[in-house]
Homo-oligomer: A and B are copies of this chain.
């Protein structure tokens, strides 16, 4: 139940973009501000772009930008991209073949919903407001 670096770094980077919402930021600048590896961030940004959370401009004076306003993006949206859908077990629907006569699956299902509901209730804007 540990969060991956992808998730932690990714959220930080998205917050950095949020603080500069409306502008385009080169990855080098984001890496500098967050003290994260530029090469590693690049991979995360590739995923975030394909998920249409961020957009990009190529070439000189290009960079990345948030597509939606920070108050309209939830932490859940971002993390689901970076954390394989935030699923905490592989058989989330209890369709595994185990001869388990107790409903532990229900626990995992409910925990999954709790986590997602909570993370969906937090906006990126609220994070940078607190900081």
Residues of chain A at the chain B interface (Cβ within 8 Å) = 1-4, 7-8, 11-12, 15-16, 18-19, 33-35, 75, 83, 86-90, 98-104, 106-108, 110-111, 114-115, 118-119, 122, 127-128, 130-131
Contacts and interface: CB of A to CB of B under 8 A. Distances in A.
B127 A119 contact: no
A102 B1 contact: no
A91 to B, nearest CB: 10
Given A114-B114, A127-B107, A130-B106, A99 B35 contact: yes
Contacts of A18: 102
A11 B106 CA distance: 12
Contact of A127 (B1, B35, B87, B102): B102
A89 B3 contact: yes
A2 B87 contact: yes
A23 to B, nearest CB: 16
Given A107-B75, A111-B118, A114-B115, A131 B101 contact: yes
Contacts of A122: 107, 110
A38 to B, nearest CB: 15
